[in-house]
Amino acid sequence: MSILTALARAEAVESGRAQPLTTVRHTHVAERPLVLVPLSLAGEAAAPLAAIVGTDPGEPRLLVVANPRDRTQRFDFVAELARVVLSYVDGCARSVDTGAGGTKLRYAEAPQVIVPNRGGVEFVRLLGRSTRFRRPFGPYPVHRTVPILGQWLTFLRERADHPGSSMLLAMTSVLSEHWATGQSGLEDANLAALLGWIDPPGDLDGAGAAALAEDPLRSPPAGPSTDPTFDNEILAPALAAVARSIDDFARERALAALTAAVADQMRPTWDLTWQAVRLLRTRPAGASVETRWAMDRDVFTMYHMALAEGTALPQPRRDSAVAAAGRLDRLEREQARYDAQRALDDPLVMAEFRLSGEAFTGTVVAASPNRVDTSGKKAALRPHITVQTDDPVRLEPGAHLVSPARLAQQATVVSVSSVDVVLELSKGMGRSTKQPAPGSVPEVGDRVTYGPVTDAYQPPGRFPSRDDTPWTHGGPPPVIEYHASDNDAVEDWS
């Protein structure tokens, strides 16, 4: 949150429509995403009740558990879901990216699973956790695809923590990154209300559409939790009817009624999620979206091959303290890079940095394009420019910056006054050591923006080795490497 977003929310209230927070789309939208709308049974840790899943808005695949508390039926459901998800994942690994160059293999596609909200992401985590340790043999055997689905769901859930990754998306989060509504962030967690502000149906304004979306009867919750009155008045009798059906005919009828009831709850969310996908596709993609998606595809390629070869790292129940600290450090650096990339792609994101004084826009008032620095062993072309700006610059001499218009060129702050900034430029000026290539150095009168460097080298945090884990963090983990064991597989599940 910042004053820019806050102001955008105020504007949204006044105009009755959500206001853009970006000028481009920063999230990759796959050609064939897999949309998953899950429902779970209230009161249980991870009891799936139903799901709609599929890659085609016109062909939702509906899965229902007739008795969510029954272990066998639960895993039958998971096996069904595994069929859909695994065939989708394998489909992404069918062709190789030939344009990538280099020696590294990269698949042309990666899975992109879209769930309606953060609750859906948590569902993916819990379902992954509860299935990846199952075994197709031994006590309580499951279909062989169940633990594989568990590994993929765990993988996807882990990727969702990485800023800029688009393999598992909560639609409400993606939309909130791109639009500000005239309601609170808490209320934005309701997909129907959020979309109501962004893309209201008919003659409604945002507030009117959001009000309708809050009525669980008109607009069922996007899951995984169901509306309590739906549970009490519709679902409970429907489940009971299945349970007490005395013959196949009765059972079939009861199942049909149950299926229709849950389909009614999920179908609107399915449609809304696809509506949001279409909406996102109408926005032009930011310049670095493709770079980040390529990173997703790299990670996917590696994991897919590792799973096939049986060399995939285990997914323990909990990270060791050192692993967790290292992971946090990595995520923080990825966040900084993601923020900087978006700023360079999008002046409205750059505006956030300008507000905080880490970036500025202004007019070049003086330039010495042919300035040569002779202090080193070899003379080097180091032009200076002076940029006059009204922005409240908070930068120190020596800071490295880059301009969205000249990504290959590095700028270093020489001095900052209340009205202007002097920058020294290097790189991106052609081969000559005496004279920059034409147009490569901003000229007097040019309007320029400088902001934070995307890949500024930040040394990775230093952490003790596993064996030196301080006692405050549980001491060194046991020497035995983590392996999924039979013990995991027989973990009770009721």
Partner 1 sequence: MDPLVDRLDRIRGTVAPRNHNARTIAALTSNPGCGRRGLMDAAGVNKGAVAGQLGFPAGFGQSRFAIARGNAFEAQVKADGAAELLQLLRDRLGLAIPEVAYDDLSNVGGNASREVRYARTKALLARAASERDDAGTLFDHPMLRLEIAGYYAYLEPDLIAFRAGGKFHVVEIKSFAVIDGQADPGKTAAAATQSAVYVMAMRELLAELGHPPESVSHDVVLVCPENFANRPTATLVDVRKQLTVLRRQLSRLTRLESILDALPAGLSFDLAYDSDQQATRPADELRKAVSTIDARYSPDCLGTCEMAFFCRDESAGSTSALGRSVRDDLGGVESIGTVLGLARGTLTPGAGQEEIAGLLRFAHKLRTECLDGIG
Partner 2 sequence: MPFVSEPIHIELLERRIDRLRGELRRAATTGDRTMARALRAELRQAEHAWDDALADLEDQARPAPQPVHKPMLSIREQVHHALTLLTVPAAPKLIIAVHDAFFPGELVAARLTSLRRDEERSFRVQPFGRPYYLCPALTADLLSPARGLLALSTWPLEIRVVGPLSARVDFLIGAIKVAQRVAQLPEDAHDAQRLLWRFAASIPGAGSAGITPSSVAELAQAELDVHLEADTADRTAAASRAQERLDGSEALFGARLQRLRRTASTT
From CA 219, how far away is CA 225, in angstroms rounded?
14
Q: Which is nearer to partner 1, 43 or 99 (CB)?
A: 43
Can you read off the two tokens belonging to residue 161? 């923590």
Burial class (CB in 10 A: 0-12, 13-18, 19+), 183: buried
What is the DSSP code (8-state) at residue 344? H
From CA 327, how far away is CA 397, in angstroms rounded?
32
Contacted by 83, from partner 1, partner 2, none: CB < 5 to 8 Å by type = none
Contacted by 204, from partner 2, partner 1, none: CB < 5 to 8 Å by type = none
Q: Which is nearer to partner 2, 95 or 232 (CB)?
A: 232
What is the DSSP code (8-state) at residue 222? -
Cite the beta strand spans of 417-470 per DSSP E.
420-426, 447-452
Contacts to partner 1 from residues 23-42, by CB under 8 A: 23, 41-42
State how far the alpha carbon of 418 is from the alpha carbons of 388, 395, 400, in Å: 9, 11, 19
CB–CB of 127/46 below 8 Å?
A: yes
Contacted by 247, from partner 2, partner 1, none: CB < 5 to 8 Å by type = partner 2
CA angle 138, 143, 148 (to 5 degrees): 100
Pairing of strands 400-403, 447-452: antiparallel
Contacted by 351, from partner 2, partner 1, none: CB < 5 to 8 Å by type = partner 1
Contacted by 10, from partner 1, partner 2, none: CB < 5 to 8 Å by type = partner 1
Contacted by 59, from partner 1, partner 2, none: CB < 5 to 8 Å by type = none
User: Given phi > 0 = left and psi -120 to 50 = alpha, else beta, which region is 44?
Assistant: beta
Contacts to partner 1 from residues 295-334, by CB under 8 A: 317-318
Contacts to partner 1 from residues 334-353, by CB under 8 A: 347-348, 350-351
Stretch that binds partner 1, among 141-149, 155-163, 221-229, 286-294 (CB under 8 A): 221-229
Can you read off the two tokens belonging to residue 151? 């590994």
How many residues at the interface with partner 1, by CB under 8 A? Answer: 51
From CA 222, how far away is CA 228, in angstroms rounded?
13
Can you read off the two tokens belonging to residue 29? 């939208």
Q: Which is nearer to partner 1, 13 or 414 (CB)?
A: 13
> Binding pattern to partner 1, positions 166-185, x when CB under 8 A?
----------------xxxx
Can residue 20 be called a binding residue for partner 1 (CB under 8 A)?
yes
From CA 449, how far away is CA 421, in angstroms rounded?
11
Contacted by 301, from partner 2, partner 1, none: CB < 5 to 8 Å by type = none
- Say whether 25 sits in a helix, a strand or coil: strand
Q: For residue 422, what are the β-bridge partners? A: 386, 415
Q: Which is nearer to partner 1, 319 or 329 (CB)?
A: 319
Q: Which is nearer to partner 2, 79 or 212 (CB)?
A: 212
Contacted by 234, from partner 1, partner 2, none: CB < 5 to 8 Å by type = partner 2
From CA 226, how far away is CA 32, in angstroms rounded?
28
Can residue 264 be called a binding residue for partner 1 (CB under 8 A)?
no
Considering only 126, 169, 213, 416, the residue that binds partner 1 (CB under 8 A) is 126
Contacted by 341, from partner 1, partner 2, none: CB < 5 to 8 Å by type = none
Residue type, 480: I
Contacted by 246, from partner 1, partner 2, none: CB < 5 to 8 Å by type = partner 2
Distance of closest approach, residue 120 Cβ to partner 1, in angstroms? 15
Can you read off the two tokens belonging to residue 30? 């796959």
Distance of closest approach, residue 129 Cβ to partner 1, in angstroms? 6
Burial class (CB in 10 A: 0-12, 13-18, 19+), 408: exposed
State how far the alpha carbon of 12 is from the alpha carbons of 5, 9, 202, in Å: 10, 5, 18
Distance of closest approach, residue 461 Cβ to partner 1, in angstroms? 23
Distance of closest approach, residue 295 Cβ to partner 2, in angstroms? 46
Cite the beta strand spans of 78-198 per DSSP E.
113-115, 168-170, 179-180
From CA 84, how far away is CA 53, in angstroms rounded?
8
Stretch that binds partner 1, among 194-202, 396-404, 457-465, 486-494 (CB under 8 A): 486-494
Considering only 29, 36, 37, 46, the residue that binds partner 1 (CB under 8 A) is 46
Which residues of the shown chain bind partner 2 in the complex (CB under 8 A)?
Answer: 216-217, 227, 229-230, 232-234, 237, 246-247, 249, 253
Which residues bind to partner 1, rule: CB under 8 A? 1-11, 13-14, 20, 23, 41-46, 126, 129-130, 182-187, 216, 226, 228-229, 231-232, 235-236, 317-318, 347-348, 350-351, 354-355, 392, 491-494
